A and B are shown apart, each in its own frame.
Chain A
């Protein structure tokens, strides 16, 4: 997504602000329920860094939609002023850092898997408007992490799995402490079940590790068959979504 720091596009800003003006904060239950789930988008900051913020929306017991945004675990902030009218959604997020409050307002038109709209934030002192193109997070594509304890010294090997899903096919990389990075092979995701293999080479010999599990919300639960250079071992596998 391209960033527009266009201070000059006043007309657009005004239009968006008008659009954000809360006529009412109501939610149309039937339409609100269509938004339930996890939504993600990519954003590039002026310094070139990229983040993938996400919006998680849940239907509460009272039938109202509530949720939060985050850029990584531990950074969640609740959304407020959520409105859903037809296929239009809007909400805002307030965050405070070093005594300064930043209000970010989101508004867009959604369908089953995408939201397209605008974001307005006063993060650098004045309102700035940006494109907002979010997609529903489905399947297992994304970043996953888990750790495994080794020995009795409290050492834990951390693993990070980055998956890309195309239909049932999975590609991506597994990166682990002291093991380096390897491409995944034979990656499959079907009916909630995930499986893939990785290979490690040592002194010219190839050792294969196999992973299989089931997607359950933000977790994958299953087993990993690890081959420690000729010594097979099967461990539980519990990966947590990080993006």
Chain B
């Protein structure tokens, strides 16, 4: 099936098209929509006795000079406003860079005699190229047949469709220019790309499309042709499509008429040759209403009608050769029919007697909609639609079984890519199915969050396996932080309407998300999951995208389509309004933050929504829309849509059309939303006059101060064939319009900012910018409104620094609260404003900080909000910042790991508002229980130094442990790196075995000695548990289903059996298997009279505390150290080590924990209060102790 053929003609393209240009922007204060004068020239038309006045009918004549001037003025006005929008330049740059980084798209595949034909689109090329491969696995065999980018300036020539000959030696290609879809047919040699002399005009037009099919021996082809000048009246030149035959080498004037003269004026013909070329099938659509008739030409050249419009056969495919000569050739035509089966059934009609009366049902109607199918050698491959998402099954005719494709290889043959099984997710769709040879099919899938993949399935080789091919897309921007929610809205009549909500993971339902809602609802075309990386640009601004599965589409079969066409069209609008109301009621957004976007038939939807529910939205972007439903059928392509919309000639249909026609329901002095109308001068599907008239009417009527803009592109049409540069311009316009209109304080920061390394007079702030070359400086103020700013010197984002910018701001006031933001490219980025407090001056000071560890990668647990709400002086992560377990020396993976975590709204907000202190553990350093032998050690160390705002490291910079210290008041913090220097856990536990490593241990001891006496309280961040004996957990008797607080002296004696007994985790992570070194440290503390030492750690997924009773590991005692454990942030529970004097708190699933340490310096003593809390801020564990502080500070 060649691309675009499935789209037929009409207004359909926008349904699955060019990814909805999800855009955003705002023109706050741009009110001058009355600047272009639009004189009223009333004309009255009469329909069934009803007089309808039309003030702007004069705008229908696009050739009129006055209209051209008016359009130019509108364009100038729109451009003037759009180009001034502050976000536009950034957005265009961002989009251009993303498109430049995107991978090729491979689509519209065909198979002929061992050769795969396909279109490849690889920006920055403006248009897709036609090429061939030996197989889907062999990208190296790529051979370009035709590159239309070389044909015309600015990439204005596009391939409408192509058809290879049956032997694959030649390809017939329809080419058109400037998005006009007015195609001329050429022939190219596959092997050389050489153009043959053929040039057949008028084979393709937007009205009925176009098509071709080769004969058996490749000596000629059948093709669709529109009337030549003089053959019909001028009004009918884009109607009456017929089939002709062209013999290669002969002049087109000698082409012979073949078929079609008796078809309706609005017939749309698609041609298809049987695999052996002996039969030719003509699928004839009755306009765009979804009814088809089928005609078959046999080997003798005789045409026979197989189905009529009223037979509801929607698709026809030829049977295939068998797998082996012991089975017969499948001389049959398979039909997908909705007759008495609105969800579809598949019939088989023998080619020898191709009458429907001879049909047998091979697949009856089922629960799901049969969306597509392809016969193979021994069965049928069928795509089942489930309300939007879809899946593919194979019906084995030999074994009489149905099989879902399960499993799939986790990697390609090269082992390079993870699995994306097409049937395992609810948000994916099968977008194309191609039967190649035997039982082999190629299946293209896409999901909202995953680019396309072409899969190969061969029932003969492996009935249960489908494997990805190298024909797969990659996204230039990760969608790991995005999720899709499938919700249901209740329409006015109670119908459930599915709604796909694309949002950032962890998005808060606070009613403040700028949201773009889009829909289509027409022609029986379904809104299926599709991937569009540009959506991320909107999501990055806190946006949400919602895609509705409206009636009029085919998501639930033909009944769903009929429920929204002809006189039922109002249902589509009611469904969409219900979706908008759902988004508001569910607190995703509010009317002031809601925008609607749609195109073509979806543009009609936009018109209906803004005239029926103007109060529901703030802005509307409408592409190539239809608005005057009383006169639409007067346009050439409008006539083809009478079968979908109805005709004013039919009284009841006129009543329905007039009841909703948007142009006729614009009310004077109504407050309409901001509107951006977009249209293409060369649009042959929807007359741009609709956009002109609607714009004039809205501009005259609206009482709001919001703009109504009309943007007309001279280099595009309905959207098909639009050059890449033009698409980027459109996207930038749409996004910047919505950002402005929805009042988004947009940000240019990609990740962060976050602060750390705070001292009484300085702070370190880091952030990641979207791309290199952006200039930024840090602005700091004591005022939340960011007045009277202090600046750190500017820096420029550089690719070799991963576009991370770092600012060290000094000379701040101690003990002072500051707000900060980045000034990027001269604009203060208020949207990502952060804050911090400088530390108090050295000396007695009281403060509070939070500490915790162990979070699922990019966790969005509310525990991070609870921590932030305490406004601690700093937050210290003691390890397992993520669980990526990276075990390769790959900085890109570590950088991506930080990116992933900082994409969590909950964590990003915490780190923006509370200074960060960080010491890693195993999962974020190099894998479970990892040590200095980790292959990732260097990458991990360097990435930490690059990305994390940290205190100066003890050993300088580079490939070194990340141990560090800092001071607050009279408290010394010593953070030891217990991973990157550690010996293997399995090593014999003796004096040689070390967790710290020799050099770091020496440093640690020196730090203790230096701190002793100078700082009454010394907090050692050990990261792993201190207390416990190897192989002796006091919690072995705990049942697996026992949670909450428990004490080793008071464990509840529940009957414990083999299945519910708690098995403590192995001791590898623990100081207990480094007991000799632990004793060495304890003895050091004892012998040097280290005073005021306490230990903070995580790793174990529990809250725990010990007052020193069980922590004294000095020889013969003498070094009792208070120990406090705070974890997990959201991981599942684990109990390690012990016992603990204050007990342990075992978390329930989903319960997150953290520690809050209050330090109260009373001069002669420092009181320490540890509060272990959960994600509901409930206190679950406490420990109080104090240290003497008299005279100690004076030593310093």
A residues in contact (CB < 8 Å) with B:
43, 45-51, 53, 69, 71-72, 74-75, 77, 93, 95, 97-98, 100-102, 104, 119, 121, 123-125, 128, 130, 157-158, 160, 175, 177-181, 201-205
Contacts known (A45-B438, A121-B326, A203-B888); A51 close to B460, Cβ less than 8 A: yes
22 residue pairs of the A-B complex, CB under 8 angstroms, read A47-B437, A48-B438, A49-B460, A50-B438, A51-B323, A51-B324, A51-B438, A71-B326, A71-B460, A74-B398, A93-B326, A95-B328, A97-B330, A102-B325, A119-B325, A121-B326, A130-B325, A157-B407, A177-B410, A178-B407, A178-B409, A179-B410
Interface residues of B in 160-201 (CB under 8 A from A): none
The A contact surface, by secondary structure, is strand
B residues in contact (CB < 8 Å) with A:
113-114, 275-276, 320-332, 348, 377, 397-399, 407-413, 415, 419, 437-440, 460, 462, 464-465, 886-889, 927, 935
The answer to whether A98 touches B415, judged by C-beta atoms less than 8 angstroms apart, is: no
Residue of B nearest to A177 (CB): B407
**Which one of B113, B320, B326, B460 has the highest number of Cβ atoms from chain A below 10 Å of its Cβ?**
B326
Name 16 extra pairs, CB < 8 A, besides A47-B320, A75-B399.
A45-B321, A45-B377, A45-B438, A49-B438, A74-B398, A77-B326, A95-B326, A101-B328, A104-B325, A124-B329, A125-B329, A158-B407, A160-B462, A177-B407, A181-B413, A203-B935
Contacts known (A100-B328, A121-B325); A47 close to B464, Cβ less than 8 A: no
The answer to whether A97 touches B275, judged by C-beta atoms less than 8 angstroms apart, is: no
Contacts of B323 in A (CB 8 A): 45, 49, 51, 71
The answer to whether B413 touches A180, judged by C-beta atoms less than 8 angstroms apart, is: yes
The answer to whether A47 touches B332, judged by C-beta atoms less than 8 angstroms apart, is: no
Contacts of A125 in B (CB 8 A): 329, 331
The answer to whether A45 touches B322, judged by C-beta atoms less than 8 angstroms apart, is: yes
Name A102's contact: one of B114, B326, B888 (CB within 8 Å): B326
Contacts of B325 in A (CB 8 A): 43, 45, 102, 104, 119, 121, 123, 128, 130
State the Cβ distance, A164 to closest chain B Cβ, in Å.
16
Complex Cα distance, B410 from A124, in Å, reads 40
Contacts of A130 in B (CB 8 A): 325
Contacts of B935 in A (CB 8 A): 203-205
Contacts of B440 in A (CB 8 A): 49
The answer to whether B407 touches A49, judged by C-beta atoms less than 8 angstroms apart, is: no
Top 4 closest A-B pairs, CB basis?
A49-B438, A203-B887, A178-B410, A180-B411
Contacts of A175 in B (CB 8 A): 409
Name B398's contact: one of A50, A75, A100, A124 (CB within 8 Å): A75
Complex Cα distance, B324 from A128, in Å, reads 13
Contacts of B322 in A (CB 8 A): 45, 97, 123
State the Cβ distance, B1068 to closest chain A Cβ, in Å.
13
Complex Cα distance, B462 from A181, in Å, reads 14
Complex Cα distance, B322 from A130, in Å, reads 16
Contacts of A203 in B (CB 8 A): 886-888, 927, 935
Contacts of B397 in A (CB 8 A): 97
Contacts known (A71-B460, A177-B410, A203-B935); A47 close to B275, Cβ less than 8 A: yes
Complex Cα distance, B327 from A121, in Å, reads 9
The answer to whether B326 touches A98, judged by C-beta atoms less than 8 angstroms apart, is: no
Contacts of B348 in A (CB 8 A): 98
**Which one of B320, B321, B408 has the highest number of Cβ atoms from chain A below 10 Å of its Cβ?**
B321
Complex Cα distance, B322 from A75, in Å, reads 13
The answer to whether B324 touches A43, judged by C-beta atoms less than 8 angstroms apart, is: yes
State the Cβ distance, A222 to closest chain B Cβ, in Å.
23
Contacts of B439 in A (CB 8 A): 49
Contacts known (A53-B324, A204-B888); A98 close to B332, Cβ less than 8 A: yes
The answer to whether A181 touches B464, judged by C-beta atoms less than 8 angstroms apart, is: no
State the Cβ distance, A18 to closest chain B Cβ, in Å.
20
Complex Cα distance, B570 from A125, in Å, reads 54
Name A158's contact: one of B114, B324, B464 (CB within 8 Å): B464
The answer to whether A98 touches B275, judged by C-beta atoms less than 8 angstroms apart, is: no
Complex Cα distance, B114 from A212, in Å, reads 38
Complex Cα distance, B583 from A59, in Å, reads 74
Complex Cα distance, B888 from A203, in Å, reads 5
State the Cβ distance, B1000 to closest chain A Cβ, in Å.
25
Complex Cα distance, B462 from A120, in Å, reads 28
Complex Cα distance, B329 from A47, in Å, reads 12
Name B465's contact: one of A69, A95, A104, A177 (CB within 8 Å): A177
The answer to whether B419 touches A178, judged by C-beta atoms less than 8 angstroms apart, is: yes
Complex Cα distance, B377 from A81, in Å, reads 28
Contacts of B411 in A (CB 8 A): 179-180
The answer to whether A45 touches B409, judged by C-beta atoms less than 8 angstroms apart, is: no
State the Cβ distance, B1187 to closest chain A Cβ, in Å.
45
State the Cβ distance, B15 to closest chain A Cβ, in Å.
33
Complex Cα distance, B243 from A33, in Å, reads 62
Contacts of B409 in A (CB 8 A): 175, 177-181
State the Cβ distance, B985 to closest chain A Cβ, in Å.
13
Contacts of B886 in A (CB 8 A): 203
Complex Cα distance, B348 from A190, in Å, reads 52
Contacts of B331 in A (CB 8 A): 125
Contacts of A201 in B (CB 8 A): 415
Contacts of A51 in B (CB 8 A): 323-324, 438, 460
Complex Cα distance, B323 from A71, in Å, reads 8
State the Cβ distance, A202 to closest chain B Cβ, in Å.
8
State the Cβ distance, A232 to closest chain B Cβ, in Å.
16
The answer to whether A48 touches B113, judged by C-beta atoms less than 8 angstroms apart, is: yes
Complex Cα distance, B112 from A47, in Å, reads 8
Residue of B nearest to A145 (CB): B462
Contacts of A48 in B (CB 8 A): 113-114, 437-438
Complex Cα distance, B651 from A236, in Å, reads 76
Contacts of A69 in B (CB 8 A): 326
Complex Cα distance, B439 from A47, in Å, reads 11
**Which one of B323, B325, B408, B409 has the highest number of Cβ atoms from chain A below 10 Å of its Cβ?**
B325
State the Cβ distance, B275 to closest chain A Cβ, in Å.
6
**Which one of B331, B886, B927 has the highest number of Cβ atoms from chain A below 10 Å of its Cβ?**
B331
Complex Cα distance, B465 from A175, in Å, reads 11
Contacts of B275 in A (CB 8 A): 47
Complex Cα distance, B568 from A173, in Å, reads 58
Complex Cα distance, B521 from A97, in Å, reads 42
Residue of B nearest to A75 (CB): B398
Complex Cα distance, B419 from A102, in Å, reads 41
Residue of A nearest to B411 (CB): A180
State the Cβ distance, B216 to closest chain A Cβ, in Å.
12
Contacts of B276 in A (CB 8 A): 46
Complex Cα distance, B321 from A139, in Å, reads 33
The answer to whether B460 touches A72, judged by C-beta atoms less than 8 angstroms apart, is: yes
Complex Cα distance, B411 from A50, in Å, reads 25
Complex Cα distance, B458 from A160, in Å, reads 14
Contacts of B460 in A (CB 8 A): 49, 51, 71-72
Complex Cα distance, B325 from A43, in Å, reads 9
The answer to whether B321 touches A98, judged by C-beta atoms less than 8 angstroms apart, is: no
State the Cβ distance, A229 to closest chain B Cβ, in Å.
10
Complex Cα distance, B990 from A85, in Å, reads 83
Residue of B nearest to A229 (CB): B887
The answer to whether B329 touches A45, judged by C-beta atoms less than 8 angstroms apart, is: no
The answer to whether A49 touches B437, judged by C-beta atoms less than 8 angstroms apart, is: yes
Complex Cα distance, B326 from A53, in Å, reads 10
Residue of B nearest to A123 (CB): B325
Complex Cα distance, B466 from A177, in Å, reads 10
The answer to whether B410 touches A123, judged by C-beta atoms less than 8 angstroms apart, is: no
Residue of A nearest to B458 (CB): A49
Complex Cα distance, B412 from A152, in Å, reads 27
The answer to whether A123 touches B398, judged by C-beta atoms less than 8 angstroms apart, is: no
The answer to whether B328 touches A45, judged by C-beta atoms less than 8 angstroms apart, is: no
Residue of B nearest to A71 (CB): B324
The answer to whether B329 touches A123, judged by C-beta atoms less than 8 angstroms apart, is: yes
